[in-house]
Amino acid sequence: MLLTLIFTTFVTVFLAEMGDKTQLTTITLSSSTNKPLAVFIGSSIALILATILGALAGGSIANLIPDFMLKLLSGIVFLIIGIKLLAQTKKETTNDN
């Protein structure tokens, strides 16, 4: 059970991080500084700290809010973000023409 959770978490986070702004920033810093090891260490520490904060916050929130409510709230937040991004893209496309 624990290994399944670790594997599922790894795959989910790994796929979510592919091609995101963090990875693009890391690529940019590495290519502009020509110090890939330093950039790797810095970005790894940042990701570890952000993940620790997320895991601790998630554990605390799970004790306060029921699971179904947390999933519902997360879904609503992602929908709002998606709708705003689509509206912004449409507005930018309209302004470009």
Domain range annotation of the chain: 1-64, 66-97
Distance CA 51, CA 46 (A): 9
Residue 16 Cα distances to 12, 45, 79, angstroms: 6, 18, 17
Rounded mean pLDDT of the chain?
87
Q: pLDDT tens, 8-20?
A: 988 888 888 777 7
The pTM assigned to this predicted structure is 0.57
Reported residue count of the chain is 97
pLDDT (0 to 100) of residue 25: 86
pLDDT at 94: 81
Distance of CA 7 to the CA centre of its chain: 17
18 secondary structure, DSSP code: T
Coil, helix or strand for 71? Answer: helix
